[in-house]
Structure 1
Amino acid sequence: MKQTPPVSTAVVFLLGLNLRPAVTSLGAALEDVSAAPGMTAAVGAVLVALPLWASGIGGWGTPWLRARTGIHRAVTCALIILGVSLILRVQGGPELLIAGTLLACLAIAVVGTVLPVLVQPASARTRASYTLALGSGSTIGALVTPTLVAAFSWQFALACWALLAAVTVHVWQSAPRSSMVFVHSALSPRKLFHSRAAWHLTVYFGLVSTLTFLVMGWLPVILRDAGLSASTAGFCLAVSMAMGLPMMWLVPFCVHRWRNQWILVVSLVAVNAVGVAGLLVAPAFLPWVWSIGLGIGMGGLAMALTTISVKAAGSSDVTTALSGMVQGLGYFIAGVGALACGLVHSITDGWTAPLVMALVVLAGQVWCGVQATRPGVIAPKPEPVFVPVPGSSMLVEPPIPLPRLPIVPTQQERVGQEG
Structure 2
Amino acid sequence: MILSPSSTTPPKARWLIVTAILVGLNLRPSMAAIGPLLGDMRGDLGLSYGSAALLTLLPVTILGLAMFVGLALARRLGERRTLSLALVAIGLASAVRLFVDHRLSLLLSAAVAGVGIALAQALLPALLKARFGARVASPIGLYVTAIMGGAALAASLSPALAQHLGWRAALACSGLLAIPALLLWHVLPRDLLQLPAASAATANLRYPRHRRSWLLALYFGLGTASYTCVLAWLAPFYVEQGWSAQRAGLLLGFLTAMEVVSGLVAPALANRSRDRRPVLVGLLLAIVGGLLGLVLAPLQAPWLWAALLGLGIGGLFPLSLIVCLDHLDDPRQAGGLAAWVQGVGYLIAGLSPWLAGVLRDALGQFAGAWLALAGAMLVLVVLSLRFDPARYAGLFREAPRHAAPGPAAPRA
* TM-score normalized with structure 2 length: 0.85
* Corresponding residue for residue 205 of structure 1: 220
Greater shift, 248-257 or 177-186, is seen at 177-186
Asked if 1:126 is matched to 2:139, the reply is: yes
Asked if 1:113 is matched to 2:106, the reply is: no
Instruction: State the structure with bigger RCO (CA 8 A, min sep 6), 1 or 2.
Output: 2
* Corresponding residue for residue 340 of structure 2: 325
1:82-105 C-alpha deviation (Å, 9 max, x unpaired): 222222243243232221221111
Give, in whole Å, the separation in 2 of the partners of 1:177 and 1:56: 28
Note if contact 2:145-2:264 (Cα within 8 Å) is conserved in structure 1: yes
* Corresponding residue for residue 102 of structure 1: 111
Q: What SS does the corresponding residue of 2:209 show, helix, strand or coil?
A: coil
Instruction: State the 1:182 CA deviation.
Output: 6.0
Gap regions ≥5 residues in structure 1: 387-396, 401-419
1:26-63 C-alpha deviation (Å, 9 max, x unpaired): 33333223333x54336523213212212111212213
Which has a greater percent of helix?
2
Greater shift, 152-161 or 336-345, is seen at 336-345
* Corresponding residue for residue 415 of structure 1: none
Give, in whole Å, the separation in 1 of the partners of 2:192 and 2:244: 53
> Which is greater in Rg?
1
Q: Give, as a single letter, the amino acid of the residue that structure 1 aligns with 2:52.
A: G
Asked if 1:48 is matched to 2:56, the reply is: yes
Closer, same or farther in 2 for the Cα pair 1:231/1:31, shift >3 Å?
closer
* Corresponding residue for residue 303 of structure 1: 319
Note if contact 1:9-1:125 (Cα within 8 Å) is conserved in structure 2: no
Instruction: State the 1:259 CA deviation.
Output: 4.2
Q: Give, as a single letter, the amino acid of the residue that structure 2 aligns with 1:163.
A: L
Specify which of 87, 99, 118 is matched with residue 95 of structure 2.
Answer: 87
Q: Give, as a single letter, the amino acid of the residue that structure 2 aligns with 1:256.
A: N
Note if contact 1:70-1:182 (Cα within 8 Å) is conserved in structure 2: no
* Corresponding residue for residue 74 of structure 1: 82
Specify which of 254, 261, 265 is matched with residue 246 of structure 1.
Answer: 261
Closer, same or farther in 2 for the Cα pair 1:47/1:130, shift >3 Å?
same
1:243-271 C-alpha deviation (Å, 9 max, x unpaired): 11111111222332224321111101111
- What is the root-mean-square deviation of aligned Cα atoms in Å? 2.8
Instruction: State the 1:378 CA deviation.
Output: 7.5
* Corresponding residue for residue 16 of structure 2: 8
Q: Give, as a single letter, the amino acid of the residue that structure 1 aligns with 2:230.
A: V
Give, in whole Å, the separation in 2 of the partners of 1:16 and 1:251: 18
Note if contact 1:227-1:284 (Cα within 8 Å) is conserved in structure 2: no
* TM-score normalized with structure 1 length: 0.83
Greater shift, 161-170 or 293-302, is seen at 161-170
Asked if 1:181 is matched to 2:194, the reply is: yes
Give, in whole Å, the separation in 2 of the partners of 1:24 and 1:51: 12
The total of aligned residue pairs comes to: 386
Instruction: State the 1:167 CA deviation.
Output: 1.9
Gap regions ≥5 residues in structure 2: 1-8, 407-412
Note if contact 1:70-1:184 (Cα within 8 Å) is conserved in structure 2: no
Note if contact 1:34-1:40 (Cα within 8 Å) is conserved in structure 2: yes
Asked if 1:151 is matched to 2:164, the reply is: yes
Specify which of 34, 37, 45 is matched with residue 29 of structure 1.
Answer: 37
Give, in whole Å, the separation in 2 of the partners of 1:91 and 1:373: 51
Note if contact 1:201-1:326 (Cα within 8 Å) is conserved in structure 2: yes
1:270-291 C-alpha deviation (Å, 9 max, x unpaired): 1111111111212121121111
